[in-house]
Homo-oligomer: A and B are copies of this chain.
Amino acid sequence: MITCPAPLGPDGTIQLAHGGGGRLSRALLDEIILPAFDSGPKGDRHDSAVFDVAAGKLAFTADGYVVRPIFFPGGDIGKLAVCGTVNDLAMAGARPQYLSAAFVLEEGLPIDDLRRVLASMRDAARAAGVRVVTGDTKVVDRGKGDGIFVHTSGVGHVPRGVDVRPARVRPGDVILVSGDVGRHGVAVLSVREGLAFDGAPESDCAPLVAPVQALVEAGVDLHCLRDLTRGGLASALNEIALDGGVRLDVEESAVPVHEGVSSACELLGIDPLYVANEGRFVAFVAHADAARALEILRAHPVSAGAAMIGRVEAQGRGAVHLRGPLGGTRLLDLLSGEQLPRIC
On A, residues with C-beta under 8 Å from B are 15-17, 19-26, 41-66, 68, 87-89, 91-92, 94, 98, 100-104, 133-141, 143-146, 149, 151, 153, 155-156, 158, 164-167, 226-227, 229-232, 235, 239, 242-245, 276, 334-342, 344
When A and B form their complex, which 8 residue pairs have the shortest distance between CB atoms, in order from nearest?
A43-B167, A21-B231, A21-B230, A62-B100, A22-B335, A20-B338, A17-B338, A153-B153
Q: Chain B: which residue is nearest A44 at the CB level?
A: B165
Please give, as numbers and ranges, the residues of chain B lying within 8 Å of A61 by CB-CB distance.
Answer: 47-49, 100, 134
Q: Which of A42, A134, A153 has the most CB of B within 10 A?
A: A153
Q: Would A53 and B53 be within 8 Å (CB), given that A17-B337, A60-B155 are in contact?
A: yes
Q: Would A235 and B140 be within 8 Å (CB), given that A48-B92, A50-B92, A103-B64 are in contact?
A: no
Distance of A256 from chain B, by nearest CB (Å): 21
Please give, as numbers and ranges, the residues of chain B lying within 8 Å of A103 by CB-CB distance.
Answer: 64
Please give, as numbers and ranges, the residues of chain B lying within 8 Å of A164 by CB-CB distance.
Answer: 46
Please give, as numbers and ranges, the residues of chain B lying within 8 Å of A151 by CB-CB distance.
Answer: 62, 64, 102, 151, 153
Q: Would A26 and B334 be within 8 Å (CB), given that A42-B242, A166-B42 are in contact?
A: yes
Q: Chain B: which residue is nearest A147 at the CB level?
A: B144
A46 partner, pick from B15, B54, B57, B92, beta carbons under 8 A: B92
Q: Would A63 and B136 be within 8 Å (CB), given that A92-B47, A102-B151, A245-B43 are in contact?
A: yes
Q: Would A22 and B231 be within 8 Å (CB), given that A61-B47, A144-B145, A153-B153 are in contact?
A: yes
Q: Would A243 and B51 be within 8 Å (CB), given that A61-B100, A334-B26, A342-B140 are in contact?
A: no
The answer for the CA separation of A53 and B232 in the assembled complex, in Å, is: 33
Q: Would A230 and B149 be within 8 Å (CB), given that A52-B57, A136-B64 are in contact?
A: no
Besides A60-B134, A143-B143, 15 other A-B contacts (C-beta < 8 A): A17-B338, A20-B338, A20-B340, A23-B337, A44-B167, A48-B60, A53-B53, A61-B134, A62-B102, A62-B151, A63-B102, A64-B138, A66-B138, A141-B342, A145-B145
Please give, as numbers and ranges, the residues of chain B lying within 8 Å of A232 by CB-CB distance.
Answer: 21
Please give, as numbers and ranges, the residues of chain B lying within 8 Å of A22 by CB-CB distance.
Answer: 231, 235, 334-339
Q: List 10 A-B contacts (CB under 8 A).
A: A17-B338, A20-B341, A24-B336, A42-B242, A44-B165, A62-B134, A62-B135, A62-B151, A144-B146, A153-B153
Please give, as numbers and ranges, the residues of chain B lying within 8 Å of A336 by CB-CB distance.
Answer: 17, 22-24
Q: Is the CB of A104 within 8 A of B104?
A: yes
Please give, as numbers and ranges, the residues of chain B lying within 8 Å of A155 by CB-CB distance.
Answer: 58, 60, 155
Q: Is the CB of B335 within 8 A of A89?
A: no
The answer for the CA separation of A135 and B22 in the assembled complex, in Å, is: 30
Q: Chain B: which residue is nearest A62 at the CB level?
A: B100
Q: Is the CB of A133 within 8 A of B341?
A: no
Distance of A72 from chain B, by nearest CB (Å): 17
Please give, as numbers and ranges, the residues of chain B lying within 8 Å of A243 by CB-CB distance.
Answer: 42-43, 45
A165 partner, pick from B43, B87, B158, B342, beta carbons under 8 A: B43
